[in-house]
Amino acid sequence: MFQLNGKIAVITGSGSGIGRATALLFAKQNAEVHLIDVNAESINAVEDEINKENGNAVAHVCDVTSQKQVQDIFNAIGKIDILVNSAGISHIGNVETTNETDFDRLYNVNVKGIYNCLKAAVTLMKQNHSGVILNLASIASNVGIPDRFAYSMTKGAVLGMTLSVARDYINEGIRCNCISPARVHTPFVDGFLKKNYPGREEEMFEKLSHSQPIGRMAKPEEIAHLILYLCSDEASFITGCDYPIDGGFIKLNN
Which region holds residue 19: left if phi is over 0, alpha if psi is between -120 and 50, else beta? alpha
Which phi and psi (to 5°) does residue 66 adopt? -95, 110
**Residue 81: C-alpha distances to residues 175, 223, 247 (Å):** 11, 20, 30
Determine the Cα–Cα distance for residues 197 and 54; give it in Å rounded to an integer: 41
Report the side by side order of strands in the sheet with 8-12: 56-61, 32-37, 8-12, 82-85, 131-136, 174-181, 242-245
- With CA atoms as reference, report the closest residue to 94 among 140, 141, 147, 145: 147
Contact of 38 with 64, CB cutoff 8 Å: yes
Radius of gyration of the CA atoms of the chain, in A: 18
Please report the DSSP string for 206-232 in residue order. HHHHTTSTTSSPBPHHHHHHHHHHHHS
Contact of 80 with 118, CB cutoff 8 Å: no
* Active centre residues (catalytic): 151
Please return the burial class of 96, using the count of CB atoms within 10 Å of its CB with bins 0-12, 13-18 and 19+.
exposed
Determine the Cα–Cα distance for residues 115 and 125; give it in Å rounded to an integer: 15
